[in-house]
Amino acid sequence: MEDKINKTEVDNLEVLYAISKIAAQAQDLPKLWGPLLEKVLEVLKVDAGTFMILEGDVLVRRASRGLGEEIMQEPPIPSSKGGISWKVINTRQPAVVTDLTREKVASKTIAEKGFRSLVSVPMMVRDQIVGVTSVFTRQERQFSEKDLNFFSIIANQAALAIMSIRTAEILGENRRRLAELEDLNQISKSISTLFDFEETLYSIVGSITKMFRSDKGVLLLFEHDSHLLEAASPAFGLSANQVRDFRARNDEGIMGQSFCKGIPIMTGQIDEETEQVLKRAKISDIKSILAAPLKVKSQTLGVILVFSNNPNNFLRDDLRLFTILSSQAAIVVNSSSIYREREEERKKDEALLTSIGDGVLALDKEQKIIHLNKAGEQITGFLAEELLNKTFIDSLGLWGKLGQPVDINDSPLKKVLENGKPLVTKDFYLKKRSGSLFPAYLSLAAIYDADDKIMGAIVVFRDITYEIELEQMKQELISIATHELRAPITAIKGYLDMILAGDTGGVSGETRETIAEVVKINQRLADLVDDLLNVSRIEQGRITIRLKTVELSALIQQTVQEYTPLAEDKKLTLLYQKNGSFKVKADAVRLRQVLNNLLSNAIKYTKEGSVEIKVEAKGKDVICQVKDTGIGISQSAQKRLFGKFYRVKIPDTRQITGTGLGLWICQKLVEMMGGKIWFESAENKGSSFYFSLPKA
Ligand code: ADP
């Protein structure tokens, strides 16, 4: 049962679609009848059929199939002649005849053809009767209720299609028939459910354009994500490229005014702004424009524009009619699939847009802009077309952190275009269309041609105003927190030292041990705070590296001396055999920090054996190795070793305290000094950490 219903529904839909397709393709009524009738015959599986349309008080035969040529020569049938068709018209009910031979048939031809059965149904659009459709079979046939219903649906759809085409004809006809057009409002609602929307839009825009003696007409729809008015295709008298490039800000030019204010505008003079919009779309020689908002209820969907090369093409009277017609167009647009699709796309894009908000800009070798994406338009407030062929610096500018303008010959763009090395920076400010500057994240990369020559660059950019604000807040929080923590930690250390020195009276052996433990814990806390401070300084680029010539071996000797007691505590041998002088380019304070870290790790993670330091020169570098016979590092842990806060979690390391920040800091510091850091390790055998620094 359910199957049947569904099948019928599918059939209905299919036929409906086919009919609407036929209707949409026919530009005028004569071309509509034949194909429409053929579809009816095919669907109902009958031998012949005919369409008669009510015109005044006669029924005019508009098409017939399977009834011979001569039937079309018959005169229209007046109501006085009666017959089955007129009965159908008068009663507005279908008529079914199983045995035609017994009936009075108005048409002689049909009477002579010897058909057995007939069904006639009225063609209705709401309460209005348009005509009658009849079909015939040679064999006697019982038409079921369902057949009849289905036939009626088809006849009514056909009637609707006919009405719609008539409407389109009316649209194009004559302005004096303004009164008839008032009905359009209702009809276009049905058009929009039945027609091929693109065709409908095209014919509406076309009719309106011609009606106002013009040769170009277009709908500009408001795009929510870009806040632009963008031309919808199909447009009348414009090329695909012109439609693509026809975009305006929602307050720009005549179109913008009409959209913003919601009023129709007529002009015989093109202002400069409007001229710019037209120029971007390469539309020239426009002398007068009619613009009206596309309003549906309280919403304005866009504007309709008609242009002419004639300076005084439009008359005062035109404005009123144009306004009425634009509201018809708005109804079609509103229900049209184009608009719906755009809406859906907009929603999908919206999600994407928020996540991929980076501007992307392409430059040629002369630093001239050849492309700007939508996100870029949004960030800067410029339209891509406005920037094309202007240099980056002329349009978006480039300012340094201190607000000084950067010279075109000294810009990072120039560098990338010259040496092809990708560059990422947060050191510059760019200018928006409004004139305000914003701090930008810039990522620059060269583009190469087929011969591997640099032909331009891609610039990815982002407004980082909020990021910077956030960073600053974070930085403040950390510095306040660490500062607040540091002071009491130092104070605690001071008091504990006093106690241990006996300044507060005698300390028993047991208390001394406990206090020594508290000193250690306090030191750990101090280390943690220092590490955190270092991380935040590095991340914010607040660490200054002062490269000087440093004698590495001397520095190692000092460090080894400091760590000897710790190694002795663990019964480890700490070895360093000075093998000459190694001068490196480094920041002594930072280098000491690196050495401390590697040495303390080697001691911490070694249960027995030795920790040895070796230095050698290699090419332009000096390499330092810190080798231990400790617990080693598993393969899986090795991959993550330099990660922030990463600590290996195995039974052997559980008792060993640490923050997981040391190696991360070491890596950053070494890299900042122009060196590299790496390691080799085997579980339960030991590890070797290496770092290189440029020779001084
Ligand atoms: P932590 O403060 O935990 O020592 P690090 O960043 O200095 O932090 O080291 C990260 C992790 O790397 C350590 O937790 C430890 O598991 C491992 N590790 C570092 N150095 C060695 C080493 N010499 N031998 C074995 N494991 C090491």
pLDDT score for 630: 96
pLDDT score for 1: 38
| CA distance linking residue 53 with residue 557, whole number of Å | 110
Nearest atom (ligand 1) to Cα of 606: 24
∠ Cα 420 426 430 (to 5°): 90
Give residue 565 CA to ligand 1 midpoint distance, Å.
20
| CA distance linking residue 500 with residue 650, whole number of Å | 35
pLDDT score for 195: 44
CA-wise closest residue to 131 among 18, 196, 40: 40
Q: Atom 21 in ligand 1: which residue has the minimum CA distance?
A: 601
Chain mean pLDDT for the chain: 83
Distances in Å between the alpha carbon of 671 and those of 263, 691, 694? 64, 10, 11
Most confident stretch, 41-55, 304-318, 457-471, 607-621: 607-621
CA-wise closest residue to 36 among 14, 74, 63: 63
Give residue 513 CA to ligand 1 midpoint distance, Å.
27
Q: Once rounded to an integer, what is the mean pLDDT over residues 364-373?
A: 88
Q: What is the pTM of this model?
A: 0.41
CA-wise closest residue to 584 among 558, 547, 627: 547
Q: Once rounded to an integer, what is the mean pLDDT over residues 484-493?
A: 84
Residue 570 has pLDDT above 90, yes or no: yes
Give residue 484 CA to ligand 1 midpoint distance, Å.
28
Give residue 131 CA to ligand 1 midpoint distance, Å.
91
Say if ligand 1 is within 6 A of residue 49 CB. no
Q: Once rounded to an integer, what is the mean pLDDT over residues 156-173?
A: 63
Q: Once rounded to an integer, what is the mean pLDDT over residues 43-53?
A: 87
Residue 629 has pLDDT above 90, yes or no: yes
Sheet of 77-78: strand order equals 77-78, 58-65, 48-55, 128-137, 117-125, 95-97
The tokens 């001071």 sit on which residue? 494
Per residue in 410-421, pLDDT tens?
A: 888 999 999 988
Give residue 491 CA to ligand 1 midpoint distance, Å.
29
Show the tokens assigned to 386.
Answer: 């406005």
Say if ligand 1 is within 6 A of residue 653 CB. yes
Give residue 380 CA to ligand 1 midpoint distance, Å.
46
pLDDT score for 183: 38
Give residue 645 CA to ligand 1 midpoint distance, Å.
10
How big is the chain, counted in residues?
696
356 — pLDDT class (breaks 50, 70, 90): low
Show the tokens assigned to 316.
Answer: 């005062």
Most confident stretch, 59-73, 199-213, 434-448, 623-637: 623-637
Residue 255 has pLDDT above 90, yes or no: yes
Higher pLDDT among residues 344 and 663, named by residue: 663
**163-178: b or e for each residue (b if 16 or more CB lie within 10 Å)?**
bbbbbbebbeeeeeee
| CA distance linking residue 652 with residue 636, whole number of Å | 16
DSSP string computed for 439-506: EEEEEEEEEE-TTS-EEEEEEEEEE-HHHHHHHHHHHHHHHHHHHHHHHHHHHHHHHHHHHHTTTTS-
Higher pLDDT among residues 683 and 655, named by residue: 683
pLDDT score for 635: 93
Sheet of 454-463: strand order equals 369-372, 359-364, 454-463, 437-448, 423-431
| CA distance linking residue 446 with residue 424, whole number of Å | 12
Residue 625 has pLDDT above 80, yes or no: yes
List Cβ neighbours of 608 (8 Å cut-off, separation of 6 or more). Answer: 571, 572, 629
Show the tokens assigned to 19.
Answer: 């009919």
pLDDT score for 176: 38
Residue 321 has pLDDT above 80, yes or no: no
pLDDT score for 194: 41
Say if ligand 1 is within 6 A of residue 666 CB. no
DSSP 101: G
Show the tokens assigned to 442.
Answer: 């810039």
Q: Once rounded to an integer, what is the mean pLDDT over residues 600-616?
A: 96
Q: Is the peptide bond before 234 cis (omega within 30 degrees of 0)?
A: yes
User: For the packed helices 184-194 and 145-173, what is the interaxial angle rounded to 10 degrees?
Assistant: 120
CB of 569 closer than 8 Å to CB of 532: no
Pairing verdict, β 610-618 and 573-576: parallel
pLDDT score for 283: 92
> For residue 274, which amino acid is it?
T
Reduced 3-state DSSP string for 109-169:
HHHHHCCCEEEEEEEEECCEEEEEEEEEECCCCCCCHHHHHHHHHHHHHHHHHHHHHHHHH
Say if ligand 1 is within 6 A of residue 687 CB. yes
Q: Once rounded to an integer, what is the mean pLDDT over residues 169-183?
A: 42
CB of 364 closer than 8 Å to CB of 455: yes
Cβ atoms within 10 Å of 72's Cβ, excluding its own: 13
pLDDT score for 390: 92
| CA distance linking residue 607 with residue 567, whole number of Å | 10
Residue 264 has pLDDT above 70, yes or no: yes
- Percentage above 90 pLDDT, the chain: 33
The residues with which 693 forms a beta bridge, in sequence order, are 622
Helices (H), 501-624: 509-539, 552-569, 588-604
Choice from 532, 595, 596, 605 to test ligand 1 binding pocket (greatest atom count within 8 A of CB):
605
Residue 158 phi/psi, 5° resolution?
A: -60, -40
| CA distance linking residue 286 with residue 214, whole number of Å | 11
Most confident stretch, 77-86, 191-200, 617-626: 617-626
pLDDT score for 188: 43
Spacing of C-alpha 5 from chain mean position: 42
16 — pLDDT class (breaks 50, 70, 90): low
Residue 402 has pLDDT above 70, yes or no: yes
The tokens 């505008």 sit on which residue? 265
Pairing verdict, β 58-65 and 548-551: unpaired
> For residue 1, which amino acid is it?
M
| CA distance linking residue 180 with residue 182, whole number of Å | 5
Distances in Å between the alpha carbon of 642 and those of 533, 550, 677? 18, 26, 10
Distances in Å between the alpha carbon of 141 and those of 8, 84, 118, 634? 20, 17, 8, 88
185 — pLDDT class (breaks 50, 70, 90): very low
| CA distance linking residue 85 with residue 134, whole number of Å | 8
> Is residue 551 classed as helix, strand or coil in its secondary structure?
strand
Give residue 684 CA to ligand 1 midpoint distance, Å.
14
Q: Atom 11 in ligand 1: which residue has the minimum CA distance?
A: 647
Per residue in 524-559, pLDDT tens?
A: 888 888 888 888 788 778 788 999 999 999 999 999
| CA distance linking residue 38 with residue 46, whole number of Å | 10
List Cβ neighbours of 192 (8 Å cut-off, separation of 6 or more). Answer: 200, 331, 332, 334, 335, 336
Considering all CA atoms of the chain, what is the largest pairwise distance in Å, rounded to the nearest integer? 138
Nearest atom (ligand 1) to Cα of 650: 16
DSSP 656: S
Per residue in 223-249, pLDDT tens?
A: 877 889 999 887 889 998 999 999 999
Say if ligand 1 is within 6 A of residue 668 CB. no
Helices (H), 135-252: 145-173, 178-181, 184-194, 197-211, 240-245
pLDDT score for 208: 81
682 membership: H or E segment, kind and range:
strand 676-682
CB of 122 closer than 8 Å to CB of 148: no
Per residue in 423-459, pLDDT tens?
A: 888 889 999 999 899 999 898 888 887 677 888 888 8
> For residue 39, which amino acid is it?
K
Per residue in 507-519, pLDDT tens?
A: 888 888 899 889 9
